[in-house]
Amino acid sequence: MSATGCTLGIIGAPGFEREAEILSALLAIPLGEADATLYVEATWWLQLRQGDETLKLSADFAHGQLDWRRKHSSGKAEPVVKAVWGRANTPPSVFDATGGLARDSFLLAASGCQVQAMEQHPLIAALIDKALQDAALSDDPALQSVLQHLHYGHGNSAEFLPLQSPGFVDVIYLDPMFPPRPSAAKVKKDMQVLQALTETGLGDELLPLARAKAGQKVIVKRPSYAPPLANSKPSAQLPAGLNRFDIYPTQR
C-alpha cells in the first residue's frame, strides 16, 4: 500500500509475465490488480480505480504533444525553461526533486540542460522510466540528444538531498502536488492520478533542503491561486498562465 492509502499491484500481459515478476520483486509490489495497477505489456500503462471511476495513464516521449513541443517550441519560449535558465548564457545543471511524469524535465533537457530527475512513487517512476527507454529506441538523433541529457529514476529526494554537497547542481526544481483548486472543477485525468498517488506536503519539506544544496537558485512551480510553498516568500516570480514559477535564492 502506498503512503496515500492506495493498494498497488502489477499485472503482466500474456508474453510479459516474467517481466512483471521481475519488476514485482524489484519494487516489492505484489502481482495482481489493485487500486493502482501497472500493466506490463508492449506499452506500459497505469490504471487507477477511484470509486466508480477508472483512470488510465500512459507516457510517450517519442510521439504526441510533448514531442511536438520539443520539435516546434523555440527553446527558451517554454515557461519552465525561462524560469530555470534566467539570464544564463550556458545551460544550467538541474535536479528535478519531484520528477512526476518528467514533462518539465524533458523540456529542460531539450533546451540543453543536464537534468537528473527523481520520483518517489515506484509505479510512476517505473512507468516513466520504461517510456524513456522506449523513446531511446527512436532513430531521431535530436530526440536521442535530449534523452542523453535526462537521467530519471526512483528515489526519495528528501533523503537524497541531505547527502549532496552544496552546489552539486546549479538549479533545483520543485513541482510539488498542487493544493486543491478553489472551484469544484476537476483537473486533467493524468493529474488526478498523480494527486491520488502522491503525498501532499512534501514540497514544504523539500524547499529548505533545496535552498541549502542548489548552486544558484531553486525554482518552484505553483498554481497562480496558491500561496508560496511553505509560506516562504520568493525573491521573484514568473507568471505562466494558470501557473507561476517562484524563484528562491540559495540559503546556506
Q: What is the DSSP string of 133-200?
A: HHHTT---HHHHHHHHTEEEEE--HHHHGGGSPTTSEEEEEE-PPPPPPSSSPPPPHHHHHHHHHS-T
One domain for residues 85 and 208 = yes
CATH for 227: 3.40.50.150
175 is in an annotated binding site: yes
Same domain, 113 and 164: yes
Residue 217 has pLDDT above 70, yes or no: yes
Q: Which residue has the higher pLDDT, 88 or 191?
A: 88
Does residue 103 have a known ligand-binding role? Answer: yes
**Distance between CA atoms of 152 and 157, rounded to whole angstroms?**
12
pTM of the model: 0.93
Whether 179 has a pLDDT exceeding 70, the answer reads no
Range of the domain at 135: 64-249
Structural domains in the chain (count): 2
- pLDDT for position 190: 77
pLDDT-wise least confident of 29-38, 156-165, 199-208, 234-243:
199-208
Instruction: Consult the annotation and say whether 204 binds a ligand.
Output: no
Within a domain: residue 54?
Answer: no
- For residues 73 and 147, membership in a common domain is answered with yes
